[in-house]
Amino acid sequence: MTLKKYREKRDFKQSPEPAGSEPLRARRAAAETRSRFFCVQKHLASHLHYDFRLEHAGVLLSWAVPKGPSLDPRTKRLAMQVEDHPIEYGAFEGVIPSGYGAGIVMLWDQGTWTPQVNDVDAALKKGDLKFTLDGYKLKGSWALVRTSGRGGRAGYGTKPSWLLIKHRDDWSDDVDIAEFAPRSVKSDGDFEDILAAGNPDVWESHRPAKGGGAGQMLARIIERAAAMKAAQTVPPAARRVAATKTARRVAATKTTKRTKKNTKKKS
């Protein structure tokens, strides 16, 4: 587990993303015994996709999921493994003005994950990792199953394809969770809100030159963010009806988590 690839792809003078620190030996060991962080970042770059990240051995194992996670066990979603990311990346939401991954990153879901296997490394190597998620939007039992042998081993630095699959349980559902719950769990904003809230200092110093390739691409991304927001203003009635089950669950989860936080503060 190393962040070498992650760092090679980015210029941290140009990007507000965290550089991260190499996972320490002690941190790797500690990672095995405490509850592990997971997140999904919705990333509007040259293509919209969802970055699914599981904390393991001091880094965030990462998969790019073009269509996002599905709560329907019949809908297996392609998940392309990408380079490990630093743990600090799990809190990142903002604008990457230029370079690798240029676009807008939204923290779409976060929480904890628990492996349903004894040996995560062995499961990754085998290409079949079963786990549970406890996020705001994603919950219950899931699996990541590798589909292509490209790179052979568990894919660190290679880029094998996996499928992200929801197991049938109380949390499986036929609602389109990406469409139903499109906003940030960090700021409650959409892509336009994140653009508007971007740290002005970072934004001004990193703003790509107007008319340049990066500038044009970001302009297209900003247009697309506006179009997506406009499309969400009047949600179809059918979607509202279909989503009620998940709506109650998401609302209940948020209330529970907020209540827990408040309780902690008081005590």
Neighbour tally for 252: CB within 10 Å: 10
Which residue's Cβ lies closest to Mn ion? Answer: 43
Neighbour tally for 189: CB within 10 Å: 16
Q: Pick the closer one to Mn ion by CB: 141 or 208.
A: 208
173 binds Mn ion (CB under 5 A): no
Q: Pick the closer one to Mn ion by CB: 51 or 173.
A: 51
Q: Pick the closer one to Mn ion by CB: 103 or 141.
A: 103
**Residue choice 51, 55, 84, 176 for contact with Mn ion (CB under 5 A):** 51
First to last CA, the chain: 38
Distance of closest approach, residue 76 Cβ to Mn ion, in angstroms: 20
- The dihedrals phi and psi of 230, each to the nearest 5 degrees, come to -60, -40
Distance of closest approach, residue 44 Cβ to Mn ion, in angstroms: 9
Neighbour tally for 149: CB within 10 Å: 11
Distance of closest approach, residue 98 Cβ to Mn ion, in angstroms: 15
Q: Pick the closer one to Mn ion by CB: 51 or 55.
A: 51
Q: Of 28, 32, 81, 92, nearest to 59 (Cα)?
A: 28
Evaluate whether 171 touches 140 at the Cβ level (below 8 Å).
yes
Q: Pick the closer one to Mn ion by CB: 123 or 225.
A: 225
Report how far residue 36's alpha carbon sits from residue 101's, in angstroms, rounded to the nearest whole number: 25
Distance of closest approach, residue 139 Cβ to Mn ion, in angstroms: 23
**Residue choice 42, 43, 206, 249 for contact with Mn ion (CB under 5 A):** 43
DSSP state of 81: E
Task: Give contact residues for Mn ion (rule: CB under 5 A).
Answer: 43, 51
